[in-house]
Structure 1
């Protein structure tokens, strides 16, 4: 088979490596986005929260407060992210689906802070086939929230009502500050036995109320400070004066807009901890270790090793295995007589010794063919079987082998 045919029908290693690498990166990125998605989102989704630039959002008042020199923060956690030496006014913007227990959890977690709860009013959506810009809302209609939205343990029994009125301009005074306020049509108001009215509604109730024994405020109608209030200069000025008056009444140092009630919080979870300091270092080490393990499994250090036979096939292997067996049995010295006999027979056969000679006569005949001055074959033949240890046996055996090489001229 040609190389072209093999490559056409086989796997391309580079392609498979690229697929695996892309899969690993996509997997890690997916879990990172799941864990950090709420915090990484810009929040411009058309909702009623501080990140939204749509009509029911509060990005306008946040930007105006910052431009006016106020310290403004967006909190993405229940416990908050502010400085402990600051007095904060926590602005909560719940939705119609928010539970009273969620508001109570935030207020309890930030027990030392003061809070302004802005009640929801608008239900927004998009009509079928309607083309709307990103961050905008297609349509909306007012929906009066239930008083059960507010936790009774903090605000008591609260009733929310919508008065059928026309837009009107009223005079308001909070914390000694007087300003004009433009009330929208169908303005929402609240009433409750534990609430103190700061700005009254046109038909009773309170547009802005405060708890009698705590600095907890309720703004019944969000149109007074949301982006709808920035339709004109007068309404925007009224929204800024309203926030400033509440801050003056609560004697706070900074504003904090909560976005956890709107789904942009960084809740505690093991998955999120894996991608934030200080655990991000451990996550990166685990990812690096996994990539190194994958690389080691992919790359081989040399060709693949083939399994070897337990006993190799050759005369040398047979001799080596026999020698190892004798060594393990510690029977080396028992083979001295056999070794002498094999050497004697090999020399006599190759030198054509006379027939009928016994062992001693054969040794004497071999001695005659040796060079003068060396140790005789007969002496070594008598001494080798009497060896007392391996060293003596090895020395005499090597001497016999040297005589054989010298006489027969072989190895």
Structure 2
């Protein structure tokens, strides 16, 4: 009963171990998602980047370029790509909140050729009103500030959205003529540090190039975003525009940057802990923690206190005495005393007549045994002549069984 009560009131080791394991796994998973969440995100959030399938996004252009056999890379990190060979045309899709130094950091790498697609739309997603996941509900054109483009690369520029109707204008980039479809009130850019490549409707340039390096600026994203894929002709013009810019920059591959849109892997110790080469150290620390938990599990419960050298109790006294007899190899010398002890205990409990000698007492005990069982007197005479421990233990056990049978005790 006491053992059952202890189990009911105490901790369940299996339950506690399961709670610890679940907690450790959840803790590691939480920090891994915090560190790698931007890189694992699908990105279909209605924004103006290459993962978005909404109108201001560029997922349609990515899909079209991939289907046409071009090498397309979606970069979630700052620095050279994983592909070997020449640096591809890097397409930057900044937002209205992007800082110029962030764009400058991406552009200031050796051998880089880039196209900066200026933002245009501020979108609002109304909960429950989007027809499909990732679509936007409403969009408002907002002309970005000219300071968005780094002055060190493009000089001082001005971005405008003059009043103009949608129209088709002839364009020629890298000696390749094609038609460019300009939307209503197309954004344009002008400045002393850029060279116009595709003129706008009322001055300025829709597509321009920096004078010093192979950096291009597309003032209006509606020439290549998902909104342009509303018609086959505009989609073909978007693909031709990117292909012409790539040919002018002397590159045959395209890379879309995602770091400016919040989907890159930031430079943090937390992220480094879950990517090579530091993932090995993280796994070693996790293994060390699991070994520590295993050690705690093996020693579950309070620490054991060292026992006394000599316990205090009658049982301890008996155990110590028996140990001394065993060490002295004098077990057989206690046969007469053991027989006398068993005889006296049985006679007292069964109220044997007083004044009987040992032989008479043994005969009195024999008359109370069942027929066919071993006689107490025979075992009592045989036990003192035991030749070894085996015979002694056999006889002592027989006397003990007779005592149990007569007295009904353990």
Q: TM-score, normalised by structure 2?
A: 0.72
Match of 1:99 in 2: 99
Instruction: Tell whether the 8 Å contact from 1:87 to 1:253 is kept in structure 2 after alignment.
Output: no
Rounded to whole Å, the distance in 2 between the matches of 1:46 and 1:192 is: 31
Match of 1:121 in 2: 120
- Tell me whether 299-308 or 173-182 shows the greater mean CA deviation: 299-308
Q: Secondary structure at the match of 1:163?
A: coil
Deviation for aligned residue 1:303: 10
Match of 1:142 in 2: 141
The reply to whether residue 57 of structure 1 matches residue 51 of structure 2 is: no
Q: Secondary structure at the match of 1:24?
A: helix
Q: Runs of 4 or more off by more than 6 Å in structure 1?
A: 301-304, 310-317
Rounded to whole Å, the distance in 1 between the matches of 2:40 and 2:303 is: 48
Deviation for aligned residue 1:87: 3.7
The reply to whether residue 184 of structure 1 matches residue 187 of structure 2 is: no
Q: Secondary structure at the match of 1:251?
A: coil
Match of 2:248 in 1: 249
Rounded to whole Å, the distance in 2 between the matches of 1:306 and 1:114 is: 73
Aligned Cα root-mean-square deviation (Å): 2.5
Extract unaligned runs of 5+ from structure 2: 321-410
Counterparts of 1:285-304 in structure 2, within 5 Å, are 285-300=284-299
Match of 2:85 in 1: 85
Rounded to whole Å, the distance in 2 between the matches of 1:307 and 1:85 is: 71
Match of 2:263 in 1: 264
Deviations 1:253-300 (A, max 9, x none): 211111110011112222112111222222112112211211211223
Rounded to whole Å, the distance in 1 between the matches of 2:189 and 2:114 is: 16
Match of 2:111 in 1: 112
Cα 1:200/1:251, change in 2 over 3 Å = same
Extract unaligned runs of 5+ from structure 1: 318-411
Q: Secondary structure at the match of 2:178?
A: strand
Q: Secondary structure at the match of 2:18?
A: helix
Q: Secondary structure at the match of 1:289?
A: helix
Instruction: Tell whether the 8 Å contact from 1:116 to 1:217 is kept in structure 2 after alignment.
Output: yes
Q: Secondary structure at the match of 2:129?
A: coil
Cα 1:67/1:311, change in 2 over 3 Å = same
Rounded to whole Å, the distance in 2 between the matches of 1:129 and 1:12 is: 47
Cα 1:41/1:305, change in 2 over 3 Å = same
Q: Secondary structure at the match of 1:133?
A: coil
Deviations 1:369-405 (A, max 9, x none): xxxxxxxxxxxxxxxxxxxxxxxxxxxxxxxxxxxxx
Cα 1:131/1:67, change in 2 over 3 Å = closer
The reply to whether residue 214 of structure 1 matches residue 222 of structure 2 is: no
Q: Secondary structure at the match of 1:96?
A: coil
Match of 1:391 in 2: none
Q: Secondary structure at the match of 2:170?
A: strand
Instruction: Tell whether the 8 Å contact from 2:153 to 2:212 is kept in structure 1 after alignment.
Output: no
Deviation for aligned residue 1:316: 12
Greater Rg over alpha carbons, structure: 1
Rounded to whole Å, the distance in 1 between the matches of 2:6 and 2:309 is: 35
Cα 1:302/1:205, change in 2 over 3 Å = closer
Q: Secondary structure at the match of 1:309?
A: coil
Counterparts of 1:8-407 in structure 2, within 5 Å, are 8-83=8-83, 85-108=85-108, 110-127=109-126, 130-300=129-299, 305-309=304-308
Deviation for aligned residue 1:153: 0.9
- Tell me whether 34-43 or 226-235 shows the greater mean CA deviation: 34-43
